[in-house]
Structure 1
Amino acid sequence: MLQAIGLTSTPRRDLPPIVDDLTFEARPGCVTALLGEPGSGKTTALRLMLELEPGRGVTYFRGRPLHRVPQPGREVGVLLGDVPGNPARTVRNQLRMLCAAAGVPASRADTMLEVVGIAGLRDHRLGSLSRAMERRFALAAALLADPCTLLLDEPAAELSSRERTWLYGLLRGHASLGGAVLFTTDDAREAARGADRVVSIEAGRLVADQDAADFARTRLRPRVAVRTPHAARLADVLGREARAARRAVEIVAESGTRLSVYGSNCAEVGEAAFRNGVLVHQLADETGDAGGAGEATAAARPVPQARTEAGTEARAAEARSGDIRAQARIDARAETRAEAGQQVAPEARTTASGGPDSPELPFATRADGWSGGETGRCLSPAPDDVPDGRPGLPVSAVRRVGGPLRPLRYELHRVFGTATPWLTAAVVIAVSALTAVLLARTGAAPRDRMLAAWPAFLPLPPAAIGAGLLGALAFGEEYRYPALAAARGTVPRRLGLLAAKLGVCSALALLIGALALVGDTCAVGLVFGAAPLRAPAQWIIPAASWAGLLAGCAWAGVLASAVFRSTAAGLAAVLAVPVAVVPLVRKVLAEPSAYPADGMVARLRGVSAAHWPPEADRFVLGALRMMTQPVGTALVLSLIVLLCAYGFTGLRSRVRW
């Protein structure tokens, strides 16, 4: 059960809110359509339900708001906007990553690909999928955790008739298992065909809440669908007979062989075709469009002969009589409510033109804020119930999305879902080997800098830059291609995901650094022999310094991309450490110290709860020496600042109730 109560978006300057006091429900076992013209607030309403848009109101999913649900991904399946994922990632890898986010087995990805009928495309890139296949994949992602509720924004947009039939069949199958389905559309015919209940909104406000059968009867015009090879001749015949009988008949040519006849029935059209010897291949009653009597569908082309002055006069007479009948129904409902103590203001009444088959639904809006459809059902609470004229509903800001349930598995699927780490490693090893050979040829750099391929004019060695790039991609890629849900605007912020990203990126950085060292050694030995490669007397401290530099650059990239929400900003923060921070640190360290720091290792041993052996003193001393170097100090300070900024911008709650 989905219950949306008093949804109201944040007011705009000099303009009303996009969604204004919207209240309705989507029942389990039922497919509900949220119908409205483009710009009527359908997408904003869905974002308010998912707490992705600031505003007022509350939405209950089986009696709980979304932020109270322990695992939202298993409660609500969402389709907002385009397919969530990097276009370079394969269909199967993307679904496996989402499986780790939802906490379901990875085998669920193959199962859902079979369900939506794209198992043969599992190794295709997301960017190569057609529009129809993208929609199938998006539905597989929404159904991945077997949610109870589906929220889909324009799921049938740009789909063929066959694909739409399949889509609505899948939605009805989900509803038949007890799930609730809510989808938005701006096509009244599709809403009537694909939904069990239709909620109509206009300018962000509720217009009607009806069963699909009542909606089709009161809001859609019945028509006769005719398919004939002589469409123009049949249109001329029907137009002449309508003028002779002074009947209101409208004929719309939808294609070369198909006509839609409004204001008639199958018997009349068939008899006219028989009398005039016109061959007919198809003749069926269908539900037409939701426009006025003189409107045609977007793909339709009106036939001028069918629109006669007599038909216009007849339609006007029917409209006038329909106004009288509609006003009589409103007055009757007003009298019934008045007997129950409910006053209806005359200025709040809205009357639609047309008779029983009118394209618009007559409804009444009470002055106290309640609005009822054709059935007179009360849907919105009265604003007079609270002092400020609004329901006493919570006010919420944009909420951070929860992290994946299996963060390490999620991060591994994210990293290795594309060729980026392999390509980065190959480029780093090649550039590092070439730089090491050039440094060995000139002999101007020490052995350690030569093997690290770190000349004096470079701010960082190639391996450190590659590690920073992989770290910047950790969050930057997700901000560019949201992975857990489309159009959510943020990525997960839990500590488990941060720890997984830091661990995976540091491991990749150390691996790239080790491969770069091996590649540099092999390249220098191959070109110059063993002369430049003298065995170092102390290799532990240089190795620890190298590992600390690589891991620190990777961590700086992760934290900076999370704070600044961009891969480029994360990589720039990594490069800013040697370019901007190191000179400042070097200037500070160059100042003479008033007190010596001798004996610091012994003092650390005294304050430490764990007693390490005397042999570990040199390792501690080596670590302290690395931290007191300009690059090490700058990197440590940068990591501390970025971690504090990450905690301030990301980990704090942004929900205000």
Structure 2
Amino acid sequence: MIQAIGLTSEPRGELPPAVDDLTFEARPGRITVLLGPAAAGKTTALRLMLQLEYGRGVALFRGRPLHRVPHPARELGVVLGDVPAHPARTARGHLRILGAAAGVPADRADDMLDLVGLSGLADQRLGGFSRGMDRRLGLAAALLGDPHTLVLDEPAEGVSPREAAWLHGLLRGYAAQGGAVLTTSRNVKEAARIADRVVTLEDGRLIADQEAADFRRTRLRPRVAVRSPHADRLAALLIDESQRADHTSDPAVGRAVEVVRESGTRISVYGSNCAAVGEAAFRHGIPVHRLADETGDTGPVVPLHRADGRPQGLADDTMSDTLALPAAEATAPAPRPVRPAPAPFAGRLAIPRLPAPGPARPLRYELRRAVGDRAGLLVAAASVLVSVVLALLLARHGGAPMSRVLTGWPRQLPFPPAALGAGLIGALAFGQEFRYPALAPERGSVPRRLGLLLAKLLVSGAAALALGGCVLAADDAAARTLFGPDAVTGIAERPVLTAGWLGLLVGCAWAGVLAAGVFRSTTMGLAAVLAVPVLVVPLVQHVQHVVAEPAARSLAGLPARLRSSALVQWPSGIDQGVLVVMRLATQPVGSALTLSLAALVCAYTLTMRRGRMR
């Protein structure tokens, strides 16, 4: 059940708020439609309920606001416009990513694709989907967690009548199983066709809250549907008779008649009845093939049960009988009884008891997202290729330190290409979320949660370590292959080089993750990484130069003193590691990167706390 109480959006300058003191309910087992023209405030009302916009009022989902729902994907399924997914992902891959975020089994994705008639297109890229396929995929994503409530923003907008009929049938089946459905529409006929209750908005205010029967009786205009081979002639005669009747003295005869030409053989007559239209056609000898009273509806439409071209088998017939009503019932405006059930879609495709999401859920989600994102793989391959080219150039000319050759880092560049690549991989981890928010069905936006951040840091750090190892191995192998075994001589402090190199790449990846999460942009994440050598390193060098004085005391012997004062004695080999870390931390690049990461952590913490206070 959804309860919206006093929803009011923020003022828009001198304009009134888009939504002003809106209160309504959407009960389980029923379809509630927010009806209104464009700019009536329907979408804004949904975004206020989902806490995607600032405003006043309360929206309760089964008695709890959304930020107090422990697992939103299990409580609420959302479809706001097109599917916000990377166009290069497949339908199955996209749903599996969302399933990992919701903590449901991976095979749930195939069940949902079968449910919405897309199982034959599971491996097709989302960039090639039509509007109807996109709507079906959005519903599959919304139903992944077996939610109690569906919230949809004009789901039938821009789709064919057969797709719309299928959608309406699925929503009716969902509501018949006890789920609450809240959808928006600007089409009066659509609202009358599918709704159990219609909430009408105008200029952001509530103007009517009616049961479907009352809405149809008060809002739909009765009309006479006529089909005739001489429809244009009949329309002209009816208009002429109406105009002549307007000048008669008999008030019972003088009625305004409006004729609308629907097609070449079909007209709709408003303000009259079947008897009057039939008599007029008979008097003038005009044959009539169809004559029926309607209430502004278009009549039954055969739904398109599957969008992948597969024939309907026994399983599809069973699913259709369970989740959708027959075509005539799906389009008929008559009210239907409510049949509550323990859980929506508790039949063949629903999981009887979904497991509780575990602590590894964010990590599984991030792993699926990273593997399914080809941009990260392309960035890593380009970084290795550029590093190999630069390493070969340095080895050919000679004179460059072996550390520069192995890392592909000429002195003319402020940062090595691999470090920028690691930073871009980290920035993509959060930047792609805001561009193609896979977590949109959960909250409509990307949540800044600690678990999600830790998962992104772990995965991006592992990717940076793998990239650093590949660069070192590829540069060494390429130089030895082209210029002989002596092209790369031994390095005395290889542990220091390896630790510093991998630490640099991991730090850049983490800086990209944090900056992209703070600024909601991949570009800003990469800019934060570039700012380290361009701005922060010169600043650190300047400070070190200003405060540089002969040291009165030295840090020599610090590892031994730490070991002697520790409660648990660690092995003596750790002393070398401590010395390596100390040397790297005192370098300008290490100091600058540490300073940048500390600032980004503070900024991320502030934005996360601000998001929780909304």
State the TM bucket, normalised to the shorter chain.
Answer: 0.7 to 0.9
Q: Choose the corresponding residue for 1:599, options 557, 560, 567.
A: 557
Aligned equivalents of 1:6, 1:100: Cα separation in 2: 35
Equivalent in the alignment of 1:451:
406
The reply on whether 1:515 has 2:523 as its aligned counterpart is: no
- Residues 403 and 497 of structure 1 are in contact (CA less than 8 Å); yes or no, is this contact kept in structure 2? no
Equivalent in the alignment of 1:132:
132
Q: CA deviation at 1:275?
A: 4.5
Number of aligned pairs? 545
Unaligned runs of 5+ in 2: 246-252, 298-356
Q: Choose the corresponding residue for 1:524, options 470, 474, 479.
A: 479
Equivalent in the alignment of 2:4:
4
- Residues 471 and 505 of structure 1 are in contact (CA less than 8 Å); yes or no, is this contact kept in structure 2? yes
- Residues 102 and 405 of structure 1 are in contact (CA less than 8 Å); yes or no, is this contact kept in structure 2? no
Q: CA deviation at 1:417?
A: 1.5
Q: CA deviation at 1:178?
A: 0.3
Residue by residue over 1:564-588, the C-alpha shift from the partner in whole angstroms, topping out at 9 and shown as x without a partner, is 2211111111111122222222334
- Residues 493 and 651 of structure 1 are in contact (CA less than 8 Å); yes or no, is this contact kept in structure 2? no
Rate the CA distance shift 1:611–1:226 in 2: closer, same or farther, 3 A. farther
Greater Cα offset, 439-448 or 277-286: 277-286
- Residues 32 and 181 of structure 1 are in contact (CA less than 8 Å); yes or no, is this contact kept in structure 2? yes
Q: CA deviation at 1:518?
A: 1.9
- Residues 376 and 428 of structure 2 are in contact (CA less than 8 Å); yes or no, is this contact kept in structure 1? no
- Residues 403 and 493 of structure 1 are in contact (CA less than 8 Å); yes or no, is this contact kept in structure 2? no
Aligned equivalents of 1:226, 1:624: Cα separation in 2: 89
Q: Choose the corresponding residue for 2:295, options 287, 300, 305.
A: 287
Rate the CA distance shift 1:599–1:280 in 2: closer, same or farther, 3 A. same
* RMSD (Å) for aligned C-alpha atoms: 2.3
- Residues 511 and 528 of structure 2 are in contact (CA less than 8 Å); yes or no, is this contact kept in structure 1? yes
Equivalent in the alignment of 1:386:
none
Equivalent in the alignment of 2:235:
235
The reply on whether 1:495 has 2:450 as its aligned counterpart is: yes
The residue type paired with residue 503 of structure 1 is: L
Equivalent in the alignment of 2:576:
618
Rate the CA distance shift 1:282–1:603 in 2: closer, same or farther, 3 A. farther
For 1:559, what is the secondary structure of its paired residue? Answer: helix
1:146-185 counterparts in 2 under 5 A? 146-185=146-185
- Residues 78 and 444 of structure 2 are in contact (CA less than 8 Å); yes or no, is this contact kept in structure 1? no
The reply on whether 1:484 has 2:439 as its aligned counterpart is: yes
Aligned equivalents of 1:450, 1:181: Cα separation in 2: 62
Equivalent in the alignment of 2:502:
547
The residue type paired with residue 96 of structure 2 is: R
Residue by residue over 1:494-539, the C-alpha shift from the partner in whole angstroms, topping out at 9 and shown as x without a partner, is 2111111011001111111212222212221221111212233442
- Residues 404 and 410 of structure 1 are in contact (CA less than 8 Å); yes or no, is this contact kept in structure 2? no
Q: Choose the corresponding residue for 2:591, options 633, 644, 653.
A: 633
The reply on whether 1:121 has 2:121 as its aligned counterpart is: yes
Rate the CA distance shift 1:102–1:525 in 2: closer, same or farther, 3 A. same
Equivalent in the alignment of 1:265:
273
Q: CA deviation at 1:471?
A: 0.4
Aligned equivalents of 1:601, 1:481: Cα separation in 2: 48
1:336-375 counterparts in 2 under 5 A? none
Runs ≥4 in structure 1, deviation > 6 angstroms? 402-405, 486-489
Rate the CA distance shift 1:62–1:540 in 2: closer, same or farther, 3 A. same
Aligned equivalents of 2:528, 2:562: Cα separation in 1: 32
The residue type paired with residue 533 of structure 1 is: V
Aligned equivalents of 1:405, 1:67: Cα separation in 2: 21
The reply on whether 1:199 has 2:199 as its aligned counterpart is: yes
Rate the CA distance shift 1:274–1:228 in 2: closer, same or farther, 3 A. same
Q: Choose the corresponding residue for 2:521, options 566, 577, 595.
A: 566
The residue type paired with residue 385 of structure 2 is: A
Aligned equivalents of 1:446, 1:246: Cα separation in 2: 101
Equivalent in the alignment of 1:36:
36
Q: CA deviation at 1:237?
A: 3.4
Equivalent in the alignment of 1:466:
421
Aligned equivalents of 2:114, 2:399: Cα separation in 1: 62
Aligned equivalents of 1:99, 1:405: Cα separation in 2: 13
The reply on whether 1:249 has 2:204 as its aligned counterpart is: no
Greater Cα offset, 237-246 or 571-580: 237-246
- Residues 475 and 565 of structure 1 are in contact (CA less than 8 Å); yes or no, is this contact kept in structure 2? yes
The reply on whether 1:25 has 2:25 as its aligned counterpart is: yes
The residue type paired with residue 65 of structure 1 is: P
For 1:79, what is the secondary structure of its paired residue? Answer: strand
Aligned equivalents of 1:63, 1:41: Cα separation in 2: 24
- Residues 103 and 358 of structure 2 are in contact (CA less than 8 Å); yes or no, is this contact kept in structure 1? no
The reply on whether 1:96 has 2:54 as its aligned counterpart is: no
The reply on whether 1:87 has 2:42 as its aligned counterpart is: no
Rate the CA distance shift 1:193–1:248 in 2: closer, same or farther, 3 A. same
Q: CA deviation at 1:206?
A: 1.3
Aligned equivalents of 2:185, 2:533: Cα separation in 1: 54
For 2:542, what is the secondary structure of its paired residue? Answer: helix
Rate the CA distance shift 1:444–1:258 in 2: closer, same or farther, 3 A. farther
- Residues 249 and 264 of structure 1 are in contact (CA less than 8 Å); yes or no, is this contact kept in structure 2? yes
The reply on whether 1:420 has 2:375 as its aligned counterpart is: yes
- Residues 437 and 523 of structure 1 are in contact (CA less than 8 Å); yes or no, is this contact kept in structure 2? yes
Rate the CA distance shift 1:537–1:405 in 2: closer, same or farther, 3 A. closer
Rate the CA distance shift 1:583–1:247 in 2: closer, same or farther, 3 A. closer
Aligned equivalents of 2:287, 2:215: Cα separation in 1: 34
Aligned equivalents of 2:398, 2:289: Cα separation in 1: 89
Rate the CA distance shift 1:606–1:494 in 2: closer, same or farther, 3 A. farther
Equivalent in the alignment of 2:566:
608
Aligned equivalents of 1:212, 1:606: Cα separation in 2: 80
- Residues 116 and 140 of structure 2 are in contact (CA less than 8 Å); yes or no, is this contact kept in structure 1? yes
Rate the CA distance shift 1:490–1:137 in 2: closer, same or farther, 3 A. closer
- State the TM-score, normalizing by the size of structure 2: 0.84
The residue type paired with residue 263 of structure 1 is: G
The residue type paired with residue 266 of structure 1 is: C
Q: CA deviation at 1:56?
A: 1.9
Q: CA deviation at 1:220?
A: 1.0
Equivalent in the alignment of 1:190:
190
Aligned equivalents of 1:149, 1:203: Cα separation in 2: 26
The residue type paired with residue 277 of structure 2 is: V
Equivalent in the alignment of 1:431:
386
Residue by residue over 1:151-189, the C-alpha shift from the partner in whole angstroms, topping out at 9 and shown as x without a partner, is 111111112211111111111111001011111111111
The residue type paired with residue 538 of structure 2 is: P
The residue type paired with residue 608 of structure 1 is: A
Rate the CA distance shift 1:237–1:652 in 2: closer, same or farther, 3 A. closer
Rate the CA distance shift 1:541–1:135 in 2: closer, same or farther, 3 A. same
Aligned equivalents of 1:490, 1:197: Cα separation in 2: 29
Aligned equivalents of 1:418, 1:599: Cα separation in 2: 47
